[in-house]
Amino acid sequence: MRSGETVSKYFHNVLHSVIRLHGELLKRPEPIPENSTDERWKWFKNCLGALDGTHVKVRVPMSEKPKYRNRKGDISTNVLGVCSQDMQFIYVLPGWEGSAADGRVLRDAIRRTNGLRVPHGYYYLVDAGYTNCTGFLAPFRGQRREMPDDGNDVILEESDDDEANESITSVEPSDEWSAMRMTLAGHIKMDTSKTKGPGQNKRFWTEEEDNKLIESLLELNNDGSFKAEGSFKPGHLKELEKKLHEKLSGCDLLAKPHIESRMKTLKTNFQIIHDMLTGPNYSGFGWDTERKTVTAEKPIWDAYIQSHKEAAPFKLKSFPYYDELSMIFGKDRATGQHVETPADVEEQLQNEGGDYNPDDYASTEDVNNASDNNVDIQFVSKASKRSQSQTESSSTSKKQRKGKSSGDLAAALTESTMTLAAVIEKSSARLSKAIGEDLNDKHVQLGEELSWTTTLTIMERHKVYRLIVQDNALVSYFFSLPDELKDDWAKGILAGTI
């Protein structure tokens, strides 16, 4: 039988080989042609396919569960899947925590170096959970599409400029795209039987009501009876309704839709500011604790707002509840630190020298180890028997010839000591070899461990690897640290403070 370590090496080797085939396994997108006769797709000229997020259940440490808990209460990772018209994968982005919204994952996908590319003039179909914007066609909320029978098609105009060859880099609505959707809707029969829509239960909250809601949320958070693994338990909305009725005379706020809707708004605003202050790819933002506003230089604001339109209001607007909401939602915010596309992994393997070498595995090491173990057992067994025999002989001699007992006992002890010394020497050599092999394994695993437990960039991980791999004591200490401390320790090594 092979050891678990050997199986793990081969298993990861196969995974790395499959990842390197992503260029062959993933299909290149092909738009719907103008002469398409497919009853399902012929209405969507220039469409490249469809995309959506899917949740895959995962097992994560207890401290990470709030980030991975989706809106249905399951611990999962949100995976973006992009498919062609014939149900073949075009692009996959795994790794986002389950609490991350589909729209956030999509924005990340199109901004990545090895991300999703949508040329101007083409688009993907998405569901109503996404923003209807250039490159992504979403249906009207509360409506169902049916195939038209009037033969009219809608074709996106293609540009002759160089811009047409560029890819979309943002997920933002536009009047032109909305008009295109309206034109398309005019050519498709719509079932308008559903009349539900946003705004039916809209209510303006007073400052006092907001303050009491935040106060009640903090009470529930600190009490702990309505929290489990970092998230609120079912029934917390009713408890908030009860608390608000006690704190506000004549309060008419209900758990649903009022309190539920207001909490979503507050959490959304908090997440926008939280991403600015703690996001991995942005710096230069600060927080004014007195004015309760985000601070930054004008160039930083302008650059950030270009790709994050939702942050624009907070350039001048204060958010007085950020500090309180940080205590409630701060640890539950998805970070996306484990997100990697196949191309990212392949690039990392190349940079870390992770190429597969059959010679590293095609050996008889296991057989040799087994043989060595047998030799050791026989050696110790013989030594033990010899020692036992010597002791018995000495005891017999002592009874029969008391005059020579001291000499015989000394000889037996001397031989036993020499035998024991030989065993210790052999064991020490094997222990030293085992320690050396363990350190070698840790050196091999160091790059992967840095990528799993730290938020460093690829280049920063290479620098940390080079700094600590030269000292076996540092390598051993790094692996002995709890995972939650490894990120700060690695950053300290990088900064020279450790």
Q: What is the pLDDT of residues 390-427, one digit of tens each?
A: 445 455 544 455 555 566 667 777 777 777 777 777 76
Higher pLDDT, 493 or 376: 493
Task: Average the pLDDT over each of 125-134, 154-163, 225-234, 402-411 and give the range with the smallest value.
Answer: 154-163
- Domain ranges in the chain are 27-191, 211-332, 374-395+408-495
Q: What percent of the chain has pLDDT over 90?
A: 10
User: What pLDDT is recorded for position 145?
Assistant: 46
| pTM for this entry | 0.46
Rounded to 10 degrees, the C-alpha dihedral 18/21/26/30 comes to -170
Contact 451, 461 (CB under 8 A): yes
CA dihedral 392, 397, 399, 402 (to 10 degrees): -140
CA distances for 477 relative to 120, 437, 454, 469, 481, angstroms:
51, 16, 15, 11, 6
Q: Token pair for residue 241?
A: 């309704």
Q: Write down the pLDDT at residue 79.
A: 94
pLDDT at 348 over 90: no
| Model confidence band, residue 432 (pLDDT cutoffs 50, 70, 90) | low
> With bands split at pLDDT 50, 70 and 90, how would you rate the model's confidence at 321?
confident
| φ/ψ bin of 135: left (φ > 0), alpha (ψ from -120 to 50), beta (otherwise) | left
Residue environment code for 2-34, b if the CB has 16+ CB neighbours within 10 A, otherwise e? eeeeeeebeeebeeeeebbebeeebbebebbee
The tens digit of pLDDT for each residue in 251-285 reads: 888 888 888 888 888 888 888 888 888 776 566 88
pLDDT for residue 153 is more than 50: no
Report how far residue 81's alpha carbon sits from residue 89's, in angstroms, rounded to the nearest whole number: 7
The amino acid at 164: A
Q: State the average pLDDT for the chain.
A: 75
2-41 confidence digits (pLDDT tens): 567 788 888 888 888 888 888 888 999 999 988 888 878 8
Q: Does 372 score more than 50 pLDDT?
A: no
More confident residue, 202 or 447: 447
> Among 142-146, 222-226, 231-235, which stretch is predicted with the lowest mean pLDDT?
142-146
Rounded Cα distance between 30 and 47, Å, is 8
Q: Measured between alpha carbons, how far apart are the two ends of the chain, in Å?
A: 43
The string of pLDDT tens digits covering residues 92-114 is 999 999 999 898 899 999 888 88
